[in-house]
Amino acid sequence: MTSKQSAWTGMLSVEDTALYVSDTGGPGRPVVYLNGAYADQSHWKRVLADLGSGYRHITYDQRARGKSKRSADYSFEACIRDLDAVLTARGVDRPLLVGWSYGGILGWHWADRNPDRVLGVVTVDAFPVGLTGEAGRERIRKLFRRMRWLFPIASRLGLAARMTADQHAEVNIECNEIAAASVPVLDRLTCPVRFVLATGDSLGSKDGEMEQGRTVLDPLLASNPNLKVSAKVASNHSKILRNDSPAVADAVREFAVTRGPAVG
């Protein structure tokens, strides 16, 4: 059964903050887009354009990103709660989650906790590996301290949060640790997961670390039949949504073919 929802854009109050949410409404399959760690929802515009009006697109800015308000809590668990809040507020049941980078990891964990409430997950260049241990944490902290003067500019471009350098670093440290511990989560997921993978590095990585990290998926793809690579594209981690949006859109379309009628 398909239900029709009205389009809506506005601020959604959640705990001590408010999230900027956009919902195109309509009767199409609800697709919820989960941003990179410091990105805003504008990065999805090419994917949304490629998919067109046949879907119900729901995007939102995480805390202190884009037009959303600051908070006292920028943890991964807060992001899980925020996704729950957006789905509840917009009356969405069984969404398709499409997550890039941090958002991809968020999608795995939400789907793992809510196996009966999710249609599937499209993961855009996220994989279960990360910098861990004290050496990894210190490397991350040094990187973000060196970049601190860029944050006010980058936040206006949807590339950074309205956070301090230390807050950026702590978000990244937690993300790396959760990613590295996500192998069991991926191995037990019962919903379909489609990966769109880049080949290049990202800011802060070097010497092919990202491509080496993607190989962690190989045994998981072999052991869990619900996980499949939809595409591997030439662009790098940072530019994949801009340069390879058609591949992401095609991964979303796979669910229209294989998973039955829309519900939302």
Closest residue by Cα to residue 48 from 34, 31, 29, 26: 31
pTM comes to 0.93
Distance CA 69, CA 84 (A): 17
At 159 the pLDDT is 86
Listed in order, strand segments (DSSP E) in 15-139 are 17-23, 29-34, 55-60, 96-100, 120-124
Q: What is the pLDDT of residues 179-235, one digit of tens each?
A: 999 999 999 999 999 999 998 776 655 666 778 889 999 999 999 999 999 999 999
pLDDT in tens, the chain (264 residues): 345 689 999 999 999 999 999 999 999 999 999 999 999 999 999 999 999 999 999 999 999 999 999 999 999 999 999 999 999 999 999 999 999 999 999 999 999 999 999 999 999 999 999 889 999 999 999 999 999 999 999 898 888 999 999 999 999 999 999 999 999 999 999 999 999 999 877 665 566 677 888 999 999 999 999 999 999 999 999 999 999 999 999 999 999 764 444 444
Domains annotated on the chain, with CATH: 8-130+179-258 (3.40.50.1820)
What is the distance between the alpha carbons of residues 25 and 30, in angstroms, rounded to a whole number?
8
